[in-house]
């Protein structure tokens, strides 16, 4: 779910979404782990057909890229740090957590480390590593990655997802992005309530 939601926050490519069955896979995954969020994923799937790729790109740019003031800045530091600026203290802390988990940001990567897509992808990585350790019956590593998930969700992503999603919903009439905001907020809220143990 984290990986598929992350893909929805990169520059849209409608053909790729359709070819890869990204939204159908998201609906099915959420039906298993968070049925309330699957309702919004289904709305995303239904609504994407109503927009051309160009319309999706325009709305994506208005919300997350610019050139004017961003409606919904997709960077955690804007919501977590004083002064609402990018690359603040919280960004540096997220980078430390990435390194602690054994990751490094590629030189080719053009986004900031606390972009919503990156943070969702990081949560996917932590879940993947936890499952990998479970399959090896490595309980110490399982606990390590559960602890990292909880820390990241409670101290970073989970703290800014609500105001971020609220800005999306207030700033667009695009049903795909509106439903995406509802979906990711519902899913993250559920993860926080469950304690990321599932």
The 10s digit of each residue's pLDDT in 127-146 is 999 999 999 999 999 999 99
* Residue spans of beta strands (DSSP E) within 78-171: none
Alpha carbons 197 and 125: distance in angstroms, whole number: 15
Alpha carbons 40 and 180: distance in angstroms, whole number: 7
Series of mean pLDDT values for 10-residue runs along the chain (198 residues): 96 90 96 97 96 96 89 95 82 92 83 94 96 96 94 95 98 97 97 72
The 10s digit of each residue's pLDDT in 186-196 is 999 999 988 75
pLDDT given at position 196: 56
Q: Are 112 and 75 in contact (CB under 8 A)?
A: yes
Name the helix (H) or strand (E) containing 68: none
Alpha carbons 69 and 1: distance in angstroms, whole number: 30
């Amino acid at each position: 779910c984290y990986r598929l939601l992350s893909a929805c926050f990169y520059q849209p490519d409608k053909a790729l979404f359709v070819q890869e069955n990204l939204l159908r896979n998201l609906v099915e995954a959420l039906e298993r782990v968070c049925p309330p969020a699957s309702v919004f994923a289904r709305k995303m799937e239904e609504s994407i057909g109503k927009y051309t790729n160009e319309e999706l790109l325009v709305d994506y740019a208005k919300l997350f890229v610019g050139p004017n003031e961003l409606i919904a800045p997709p960077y955690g530091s804007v919501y977590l740090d004083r002064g609402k600026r990018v690359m603040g203290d919280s960004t540096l802390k997220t980078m430390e957590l990435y390194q602690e988990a054994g990751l490094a940001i590629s030189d080719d990567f053009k986004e900031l480390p606390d972009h919503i897509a990156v943070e969702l992808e990081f949560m996917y990585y932590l879940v993947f590593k936890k499952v990998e350790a479970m399959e090896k019956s490595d309980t110490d590593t399982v606990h390590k990655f559960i602890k990292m998930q909880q820390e990241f969700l409670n101290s970073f992503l989970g703290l800014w997802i609500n105001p971020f999603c609220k800005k999306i919903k207030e700033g667009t009439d695009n049903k795909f992005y509106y439903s995406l905001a509802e979906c990711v907020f519902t899913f993250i809220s559920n993860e926080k309530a469950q304690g990321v143990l599932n």
